[in-house]
């Protein structure tokens, strides 16, 4: 087991290194931040002086080496624009993204699971068809469009909820729905198929024969087993949420990490982009590792399996 975990950690480190290198190179290819920081009237001498000041005059391998060295000691560098440590910006923004992701996933589960259950129980009925349309729409509607529509209806026409920005608890509602609708649809489909499978199981038939009330059979006995894959899937969805929050955060002017990275890309603020992507990647890889370890703990077959054999 220990060997398996060590192997997976090694894979994680290699994956992170690949991500770092890839992001470092891509961000350099996208343009020169000095062009943005200075006015168009700036002379070449002024631009060069600023490059020297920011350390951008050094060859790429040197810049890469300096960056890696810093990362090993927890130094992600300083933002080119704000000149403040990148980690400071990340800590400022990450909680907002995590909170929004958490509310979004709760919304997804709160909507997706009951609809999935009803859809399975009432299979073939109008309710089932409506639920499936809900699921298809959820996965087909673009996030930015949904966000703007919600802003228009609930923010402008009805004026019930704030159309943007992070203020009180009410400001979470629209972005969380926007973020969560796609996954609510996915969770609904997974719950439905999982429930259909469980509802046909022998122990459920036995419960019915015993004369238990149908609500107890469905919600207590069937759902308990049907939600296991749903919950596992939800953990992974939450991690995907974090990366996918860029659009939602931009539409709702949400001060999250996704928007910070996007703005970093627009302003060629390399350290911000690198640091932000690194954090997202690390969270994703760590969550993957945790799920793998838990799976292998519960199912020893996985840990001993070898590719091709």
Partner 1 sequence: MIVHPLARRRRFRLGLLSVLTFGSVLAAAWYPIAADAQEPKGTLNIALATFANETFLPDSTPGAEMVFSNYMFEHLVRRDPNTGENLPMLAESWQAQDGAATWVFKLRRGVKFHGGFGEMTCEDIKATFVKGARPGSANTATFLKKLKEVQCPDPYTAVVKLNSPHPMMLNEVNSGVFAQVTYINSKKALERGDDAANRHPIGTGPWEFVSHTFGDRVEYKAVRNHWRKTPEFDRLVLLKVPEAATRIAMVAAGRVDIAEVGVDFIKELKAAKVETRAIPEFASIGITLGGMWPDRGPGTSMAKLPWGPLDDERARKVRLAFNKAVDVQAIREQIFGGFLDPTAVTMFFPGKPWTPNLKPYGFDVAQARQLMKEAGYPNCFEFTMLMVTWPGRGYGPRAGEAVASMLEKNLGCKITREPMDRAIFSRHFGARTYPGKALAYAFPQVGTEPWEIWIRIGHSKGAAQITGFEHPTMDDFLDRISREADPNARAKLQKQMAEWAYRQVPRIELGGTVALFGVSKRVGKWPLVPGQGVPHYTEYITRVD
Binding site for partner 1 (CB under 8 A): 31-33, 35-46, 49-50, 52-53, 79, 81-84, 89, 92-93, 148, 151-152, 155-156, 159, 162-165, 250-253, 255, 259-260, 263, 266-268
Residue closer to partner 1 by CB (options 81, 235) is 81
CB of 248 to partner 1, least distance (A): 11
Residue closer to partner 1 by CB (options 164, 243) is 164
Structure tokens at 294: 């838990």
Residue closer to partner 1 by CB (options 50, 127) is 50
- If 0-12 CB within 10 Å is exposed, 13-18 middle and 19+ buried, where does residue 60 land? exposed
CB of 250 to partner 1, least distance (A): 6
* Residue 162: count of CB within 10 angstroms of its CB: 20
d(CA 117, CA 194): 9
CB of 52 to partner 1, least distance (A): 7
CB of 301 to partner 1, least distance (A): 47
d(CA 186, CA 108): 9
d(CA 91, CA 268): 20
CB of 65 to partner 1, least distance (A): 24
CB of 36 to partner 1, least distance (A): 4
Residue closer to partner 1 by CB (options 2, 43) is 43
Residue closer to partner 1 by CB (options 112, 175) is 175
Residue closer to partner 1 by CB (options 44, 202) is 44
Structure tokens at 75: 């130094």
């Amino acid at each position: 087991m220990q060997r398996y975990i060590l192997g997976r950690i090694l894979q994680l480190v290699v994956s992170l290194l690949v991500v770092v290198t890839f992001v470092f190179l891509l961000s350099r290819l996208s343009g020169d931040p000095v062009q943005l920081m200075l006015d168009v009237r700036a002379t070449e001498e002024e631009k060069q002086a600023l490059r020297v000041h920011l350390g951008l005059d050094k060859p790429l391998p040197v810049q890469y080496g300096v960056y890696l060295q810093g990362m090993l000691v927890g130094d992600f560098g300083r933002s080119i624009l704000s000149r403040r440590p990148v980690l400071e910006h990340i800590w400022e923004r990450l909680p907002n993204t995590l909170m929004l992701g958490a509310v979004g996933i709760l919304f997804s589960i709160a909507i997706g699971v009951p609809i999935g259950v009803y859809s399975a129980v009432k299979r073939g009925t109008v309710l089932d068809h409506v639920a499936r349309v809900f699921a298809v729409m959820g996965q087909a509607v673009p996030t930015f469009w949904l966000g703007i529509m919600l802003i228009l209806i609930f923010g402008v026409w009805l004026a019930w909820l704030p159309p943007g920005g992070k203020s009180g608890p009410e400001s979470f509602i629209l972005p969380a729905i926007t973020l969560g609708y796609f996954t609510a649809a996915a969770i609904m489909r997974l719950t439905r198929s999982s429930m259909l499978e469980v509802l046909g199981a022998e122990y459920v038939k036995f419960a019915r024969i015993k004369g238990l009330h149908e609500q107890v059979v469905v919600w207590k006995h069937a759902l308990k087993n049907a939600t296991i894959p749903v919950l596992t899937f939800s953990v992974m969805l939450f991690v995907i949420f974090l990366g996918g929050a860029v659009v939602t955060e931009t539409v709702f002017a949400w001060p999250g990490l996704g928007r910070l990275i996007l703005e970093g890309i627009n302003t060629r603020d390399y350290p911000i982009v690198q640091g932000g992507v690194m954090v997202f990647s690390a969270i994703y890889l760590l969550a993957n590792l945790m799920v793998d370890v838990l799976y292998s703990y519960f199912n020893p077959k996985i840990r001993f399996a070898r590719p091709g054999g």
